[in-house]
Amino acid sequence: MAKKKAAKKAVKKAAKKKATKKKAVKKKATKKKAVKKKAVKKKKKATKKKAAKKKTAKKKVAKKKVAKKKAAKKKTAKKKKKKK
């Protein structure tokens, strides 16, 4: 509320001053937006990294599973050969 009153006073004092003030306020707002965007970008990057880590972990698990399957196949192949 105090800001609004101050703005009204500025209007009464001088239109030019108000215009420059508005520009300054706008600049601050855009700066804040930029900061927010950066924060969002950082967050997104972090989530992307996490997702990537999860993916690699899944890949590792999948590789292990494949390795186990291959090992199992080898064992069964050996058994078959022995039977013959």
Is residue 5, in this structure, part of any structural domain at all? no
- Cβ burial of 10 (10 Å; 0-12, 13-18, 19+) is middle
What pLDDT is recorded for position 52? Answer: 74
pTM over 0.85: no
Query: Residue 35 is part of which domain span?
Result: 10-83
- Cβ burial of 81 (10 Å; 0-12, 13-18, 19+) is exposed
Is residue 1, in this structure, part of any structural domain at all? no
What pLDDT is recorded for position 63? Answer: 79
What pLDDT is recorded for position 71? Answer: 76
Please count the structural domains in the chain. Answer: 1
Q: Identify the H or E element spanning 84.
A: none
Is residue 3, in this structure, part of any structural domain at all? no
14-68: pLDDT as tens digits: 566 556 667 766 777 777 777 777 777 777 777 777 777 777 777 777 777 777 7
CA 62/CA 28 separation, integer angstroms: 50
* Residue 12: pLDDT over 70: no
CA 65/CA 45 separation, integer angstroms: 30
Is residue 78, in this structure, part of any structural domain at all? yes
